[in-house]
Structure 1
Amino acid sequence: MAEVQKGFFWHVHHEVLIEWCYYSYDGRASFIRTDKPKSEQETRLRLFKPVKGTLPREVVEAGQALDKASQAYVKAWQAYVETGRAYDEASQAYQAYDEAWQVLNEALRKNMPAIEALHKEECHNCPWDGKTIFPGS
């Protein structure tokens, strides 16, 4: 495991001289070993290393600001993913609810004569006219 895991590194990517490595050095090195062409791995790993010297203050501050923004973004993205999962679960639950509601309505419709007979037996002097308990309003 490398001593320095994030910060400014040389050649994080092959087309960039210096870059803020906001994920871990070990993670990037592992990715190079597993996903980059064998013919490029030695060069990439040899040149991918932390900056040791002093960089201009403006560059250091900008890198630190990027790191802070990156952490906030990762946290927000995780919340977004969780929200998406919750939304998907809610959508599935609503679909099941809607289907159950339709099944109930169909069962009520098919069995309305028996239900109306039971209602007449249990709700004496009920003004229900098939649509409302306030007929004529």
Structure 2
Amino acid sequence: MPGKDKVIKSYRAGSGNGSKDECAPMRGWLPNGSYKVLGHAKHKKGGRSGFNGYAIHVQDKVCKNGRAKRTELFIHSEMKPDSEMKPDGRQGPKLPGQDSPYRWDGAGDHYSLACVKITPAHIRDLFPTADR
């Protein structure tokens, strides 16, 4: 029997590219509500999602007015892929004058393609809970 939802961990997170429209795929905030965790991996490879490293896959969700179904939703961060393009959780090098997709450079890194994005330290801290 499923238990009551409860907060296990709390972190600052970002979702989307600044749009507050939860019906805007690849741009807006995630729809409000509870999400079922579908799986997690420490070695997620880019693909359509465009990120590497630790990732927690959560269920699809229909936005509040039913205009759109949000799919391919993850909690993730920015991490450096290793030479085989398998993420290892390390930070990539700092790039002079630009943001690196493999390095957490600051608050602007909370922007995403509408997934939930947290710092590398926070997602590593969350994984022992996900393992349970």
Establish whether TM, by shorter chain, passes 0.5.
Answer: no
- Greater share of helix: 1
- Greater share of strand: 2
